Amino acid sequence: MKSKFDYYIVECEDQTYNVLFHQPTSKIAYISKNIRQDDLICDELDKKLERIPKIRKSIELQHGKGKITMTFMSARTCNLGCRYCFAGKGEYEKKDNKPKYFTYKLYMQGLMRGVETYPEGIKRIGFFGGEPLLNFKEIKKFIPECIQVFHQKRLSIPQMTITTNATLLTEEMIDFFKEYKVKLSLSLDGNKEINDRARKFKCTEHSVYDDVVEKCKMLDRKEISYVIQATINANHINQFKKGDAVHWIQSLEKLNYINISIIPVETMLSDLQIVTEEQLQNLGLFSKELIKYFLDKIQKGDIKKIASLVIMPIIQIAKKEYLRSCTSGRSFIWDTDGKAYPCHMFCNENEFLIGDIEEGINSDKSEFLANIDREEGRHCQKCIAKLVCSVWCKGIQFLSNKDVHEVCKARCVYQIAIVEECVKYLAVLGKNRELSEQFWRNYKRFNEELLDAGYKHRSIE
């Protein structure tokens, strides 16, 4: 794939044509394989496309307007010592001035400050860590009181989510989460061999994989849906051969999750990071195989266990919509000391402090961070994925590169590979009306199942 202004030629290895993709309008044209990027006469193409509506970009976000996501740093510690953890094995560098756990009192103060700042309500409340289940006692006390506050203020109840490694889950916790409709997001990177290379207990050699799988069975018995968060590292793609990505995802499909999030690792550990040219090339092949697998499942009507964020670009391109991916600034997190940050990635970075529970949120700083745009960065301006990228993350980019605009190479390779395959698939659908109608009909069923389970995705209406 090469680019020139807003036009991208995507090579279709298994077709008699290549695809010309016009990013601002999401228009696709079939072109000869002999045409190269330098052959394009962009002025003439622009004239032909000038009357076609462009992708709608999101309006500028304003502090205090609309609904936001509010997260609590429930615990600044963890029972696992995952080797690639951005938070230093869940300990956030053990900042001496930061309490280890969030208290019930602070939960209530943070809630009231959040509702005061965003009077239209809170869209989602999250519990994060470290490992938030280490602080379950305070969470259990808080959630019923939290719901009462929203009832009293006649506001809609926000979706409650908890991000956990799952190893501490008990029957009591599961019953509580079911009663209060708390959505669970569990971490698992693949089969036992892959997962346990990077995800480890701190104080025992016991298998994390075995523990998590057992807890998933407990959730299944209680009929509670959950999401898996999987991180791809070098162990997934070294010596990549055709079929490896499908084999990997199918090893996870033995679990009964409703959705799965997949993202490449960002780490300084040489045995886990994806940095060499060969590794990046393998990651691209892995990603292409993965998206083809999910698109093929939808086409065949197999709508279970689809990675919604992986297939998101095909929806955005088809709908001609801009994806504002990074929520930093239009969401915020309360840390254990009552300080507010745009997201958990920034909790040790004082320059990104946006307020505290006593004084409230700094509106100017919050708005500024919320409206930092992908396209301001030099790498994104000429990228085929710039309007639909879901892996561009201000926090991880700052932690890795000390610059919110300096992209992470592995993430770029992953997203570009997915977008190119989505463009090619849309081109195939464009030549076969029956195939196209079948695909979108099946996608609609998938979307409805997510909504029924309490997870929001994208409508195609």
Per-residue pLDDT reduced to its tens digit, 296-306: 999 999 999 99
What lies within 8 Å, CB to CB, of 448 at 6+ separation is none
Residue 109 host element (H or E): helix 104-117
Q: What is the pLDDT of residue 96?
A: 62
Cα radius of gyration (the chain): 22
Specify the amino acid at residue 243.
G
461 pLDDT more than 50: no
Q: What is the pLDDT of residue 240?
A: 96
What lies within 8 Å, CB to CB, of 310 at 6+ separation is 262, 290, 291, 294, 418
Q: What is the pLDDT of residue 1?
A: 43
pLDDT-derived band of residue 153, with 50, 70 and 90 as boundaries? very high
335 pLDDT more than 80: yes
Q: What is the pLDDT of residue 39?
A: 62
Beta carbons of 125 and 159 less than 8 angstroms apart: yes
Short-list 187, 70, 73, 94, CA closest to 138: 73
What lies within 8 Å, CB to CB, of 20 at 6+ separation is 7, 8, 9, 10, 28, 29, 30, 31, 35, 40
Rounded to whole angstroms, the Cα distance separating 432 from 362 reads 52
Rounded to whole angstroms, the Cα distance separating 161 from 139 reads 11
Token representation of residue 122:
């809170």
Which residue did the predictor score with more confidence, 49 or 224?
A: 224
Token representation of residue 402:
């000390």
Q: What is the pTM of this model?
A: 0.91
Rounded to whole angstroms, the Cα distance separating 447 from 178 reads 22
256 pLDDT more than 90: yes
Q: At what angle do helices 277-300 and 308-319 cross, to 10 degrees?
A: 70
Mean pLDDT of 128-146: 97
pLDDT-derived band of residue 405, with 50, 70 and 90 as boundaries? confident
> Considering the chain, what percentage of its residues have pLDDT values greater than 70?
90
351 burial level (CB within 10 Å; 0-12, 13-18, 19+):
exposed
For residue 126, CA distances in Å to 148, 252, 340 come to: 17, 25, 14
Q: What is the pLDDT of residue 460?
A: 41
141 pLDDT more than 70: yes
Which residue did the predictor score with more confidence, 111 or 397?
A: 111
Mean pLDDT of 442-459: 79
pLDDT-derived band of residue 288, with 50, 70 and 90 as boundaries? very high
Beta carbons of 357 and 106 less than 8 angstroms apart: yes
Q: At what angle do helices 104-117 and 136-152 cross, to 10 degrees?
A: 30
Q: What is the pLDDT of residue 451?
A: 85
Q: What is the pLDDT of residue 272?
A: 96
Rounded to whole angstroms, the Cα distance separating 407 from 399 reads 11
Q: What is the pLDDT of residue 369?
A: 79
Q: Which stretches of 153-243 are DSSP H helices?
A: 171-179, 192-198, 208-221, 234-237
pLDDT digits (tens, 9 = 90+) for 169-211: 999 999 999 999 999 999 999 999 999 999 999 988 999 999 9
Short-list 279, 237, 239, 240, CA closest to 262: 237
90-104, 341-355, 443-457 — most confident range: 341-355
Mean predicted lDDT score pLDDT of the chain? 89
Domain range summary for the chain, segments of one domain joined by +: 1-54
Q: What is the pLDDT of residue 3?
A: 43
Rounded to whole angstroms, the Cα distance separating 214 from 211 reads 5
Of 90-94, 274-278, 354-358, 425-429, which range is least confident?
A: 90-94
pLDDT-derived band of residue 459, with 50, 70 and 90 as boundaries? very low
Q: What is the pLDDT of residue 63?
A: 56
> Sign of the C-alpha dihedral, residues 126, 404, 339, 74?
positive
Q: What is the pLDDT of residue 458?
A: 46
Q: What is the pLDDT of residue 61?
A: 53
Which residue did the predictor score with more confidence, 234 or 381?
A: 234
pLDDT digits (tens, 9 = 90+) for 27-58: 888 988 888 766 665 555 555 555 555 555 55
Q: What is the pLDDT of residue 5?
A: 61
